[in-house]
Structure 1
């Protein structure tokens, strides 16, 4: 059974998962991940964690992009449990939380070296959008959005 909880970035399990996420991104993108300097997690108010048998196995966050849109960030599921639709549970909870906060849309980005992430988002109703913000100059960034 997968348990999903809401917390914030002060959670120790979240901090550990972010370390694993950063290692994964470094392996995929090389040691100098282009967005590393923007991926601080010190003060995130909206964090979702997934647990299996009491162990933290996945995470995701949302942050306000504008008055009606939340941005999904820091999605990660441990490689040993991938393929079990855990990311979908995290994504669904992030979308529900976004709605509760008054948002009508979610947007996000991933990299071209994360094809499983693109498939996840497309399978869950996200469509491709033009690159936005700091992503405009990053060649392998892929951006997606979904109306809630």
Structure 2
């Protein structure tokens, strides 16, 4: 059983997890993350969104976030699982938890974007009922966009 909690994205453990996420993404795509950590601390707090971690406060095993786009849609962002915890279902459980958080706010749709070179992420989203949609956010680093209607009952 995986335990998740909504956390302050500016807390040390949250910043550590986000730093690991950005380090992996930066290495994979060859770009600097700049002020991304500080930007996340603003974007993923109520009422704009929320940030979730799994694991110990000092060194979480996973993180993810939701940014609320409007009254109907929440965008899943910054999903990361530590290499030592991969292959155990943690990413799928994290995705389900983030979806649940969107539903709890009364929203009906989850959106997300990714890069098609991240084949495991694409496979996860497709296996969980996400369908490909046109670009909804102009993210230059993404080339695949997904949407899923979430149950509200």
TM-score, normalisation: structure 1: 0.86
1:131 to 131, 135, 146: 135
Correspondence for 1:92: 96
Correspondence for 2:107: 103
> Root-mean-square deviation (CA), in Å?
2.1
Shift of 1:112: 1.9
TM-score, normalisation: structure 2: 0.84
Query: Aligned residue pairs: how many?
Result: 143
* Cα contact 2:113–2:142 (8 A) shared by 1: no
Is 1:79 the equivalent of 2:104?
Answer: no
Correspondence for 2:145: 143
Shift of 1:38: 6.4
Any unmatched runs of 5+ in structure 1? none
2:64 to 60, 63, 70: 60
The DSSP-based 3-state class of the residue aligned with 2:40 is coil
The DSSP-based 3-state class of the residue aligned with 2:15 is helix
Any unmatched runs of 5+ in structure 2? none
Correspondence for 1:49: 53
* Cα contact 2:111–2:145 (8 A) shared by 1: yes
Shift of 1:32: 4.5
What aligned pairs does 1:4-19 form with structure 2 within 5 A after superposition? 4-19=4-19
The DSSP-based 3-state class of the residue aligned with 2:124 is helix
